[in-house]
Amino acid sequence: RGIGKAMAIELAKRGAKVAVNYADAVEGAEQVVKEIKALGNGSDAAAFKANVGNVEESEKLMDDVVKHFGELDICCSNSGVVSFGHFQDVTPEEFDRVFNINTRGQFFVAKAAYKRMEKYGRIILMGSITGQAKGVPKHAVYSGSKGAIETFTRCMAIDAGEKKITVNCVAPGGIKTDMYHAVCREYIPDGDK
């Protein structure tokens, strides 16, 4: 759904074989696979279950993708959960939940993908405009988790150069996705309409 679905379909339109990862929403993942196969351009897709907050599941995901498709050329890591509130109200559990998916999860997905890529692969991580902004009220945890992705990207890009693999970060602003609708009313009166 959302940005991940759009990326998967766009890559398929360009001829890629697409692995659609999901943690819980199997129906949504299967729908994306169905839409890709319906393109009729020779592209292929398959759904793979993995919680990217779990390193072992990320490793298995990459193994399964390579086993299914034969190789891994592009990895778009699009995991993300939102957190909104004053930093004084953030619990250790909430902090860990957000950083485990948004930051740690993406780091270890990139690592797992890199190990399985040949030369000229592509790793694309998902940041956020809030990770680049000078400050967003009541967004310290989310913004921090995405800001770390910016730094990871710069460092990983240098390291991955030895295999001529590029590492980039996409940092979208407000896009009307499920995540946007979860917090938009905090920013804009009637923003969820």
List helix spans (H) across 76-125. 92-99, 106-116
129's CB contacts (< 8 A; 6+ apart) are: 171, 172, 173, 174
146 given a catalytic annotation: yes
DSSP, res 90: -
Structure tokens at 99: 């950083």
Q: Which residue has the tokens 């970060």?
A: 169
Question: How far is it, in rounded angstroms, from Cα 55 to Cα 52?
Answer: 7
Annotated catalytic residue within 22, 114, 142, 180: 142
φ, ψ (nearest 5 deg) of residue 138: 55, 30
142 given a catalytic annotation: yes
Question: How far is it, in rounded angstroms, from Cα 3 to Cα 169?
Answer: 14
Alpha carbon separation from 133 to 59, 83, 127, 144 (Å, rounded) = 32, 16, 12, 10
Annotated catalytic residue within 43, 83, 128, 145: 128
163 given a catalytic annotation: no
Question: How far is it, in rounded angstroms, from Cα 1 to Cα 20?
Answer: 10
Q: Which residues carry out catalysis?
A: 128, 142, 146
